[in-house]
């Protein structure tokens, strides 16, 4: 999470959406950089609403902070998690995907009770879900539309931005069977609906 106090902007870091590169590029200009622990670095909207927003409003006497975030196409997001969890330092650990196919990974992800820890990667829709008190992400961008994302940040922060490639998983061809893809789109409809609404 990055806070730009004078610009009235809070960047919420959705995992696997290029947040490490954004943090590296923008941290020197941010007023608050929350990079550890992961539970705070990747604080979802509900955690921002519960802890950070009240702090800004009560301690800092401001209620005009806006939030922004990035969302990735749902299958691409899962593929990024799958590749990330195949890395060598996870070999032999329960959350490694080294010995499962992408098809198996997604099948496990779709289960209501994800007993396989390698598939327990959360939900973008839950991360970004508006709160009952009306708090929502004010500016939400598609990961695939870097031009719009960078354009917004450059205008809002009044600076030129060059994003390095960081924390990226190794490229590999991944595909899903038509049946699994259809099932995923049905069982995780809120993910696809939110992403499509950003078009």
**Partners of residue 142 on adjacent β-strands:** 71
- Residue numbers of the domain that contains 183: 2-197
Task: Check residue 167 and give its pLDDT.
Answer: 56
CA 74-77-78 angle, 5° bins = 90
Q: How many domains does the chain have?
A: 1
pLDDT along the chain (199 residues), means of 10: 95 94 93 92 95 89 91 97 94 94 96 86 97 94 96 96 69 89 97 95
Q: Give pLDDT, residue 61.
A: 81
How far is it, in rounded angstroms, from Cα 91 to Cα 25?
A: 31
CA distances from 126 to 14, 59, 71, 136, 194 (A): 11, 28, 12, 12, 11
CATH number at residue 54: 3.40.50
Per-residue pLDDT at 154: 96
Q: How far apart are CA 156 and CA 9, in angstroms?
A: 8
């Amino acid at each position: 999470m990055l806070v730009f106090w004078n610009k009235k902007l809070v960047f919420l870091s959705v995992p696997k959406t290029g947040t490490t590169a954004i943090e590296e590029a923008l941290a020197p200009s941010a007023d608050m950089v929350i990079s550890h622990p992961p539970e705070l670095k990747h604080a979802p909207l509900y955690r921002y609403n519960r802890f950070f927003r009240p702090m800004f409003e009560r301690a800092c006497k401001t209620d005009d902070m806006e939030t922004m975030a990035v969302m990735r196409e749902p299958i691409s997001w899962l593929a990024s998690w799958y590749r990330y969890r195949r890395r060598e330092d996870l070999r032999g650990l329960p959350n490694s995907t080294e010995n499962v196919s992408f098809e198996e990974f997604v099948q496990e992800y779709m289960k209501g009770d994800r007993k396989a820890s390698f598939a327990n990667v959360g939900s973008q829709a839950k991360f970004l879900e508006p709160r009952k008190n009306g708090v929502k992400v004010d500016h939400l961008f598609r990961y695939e539309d870097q031009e719009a994302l960078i354009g917004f940040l450059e205008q809002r922060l009044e600076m030129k931005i060059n994003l390095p490639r960081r924390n990226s998983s190794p490229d590999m061809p991944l595909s899903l069977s038509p049946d699994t893809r259809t099932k995923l789109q049905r069982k995780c409809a809120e993910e696809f609906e939110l992403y499509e609404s950003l078009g």
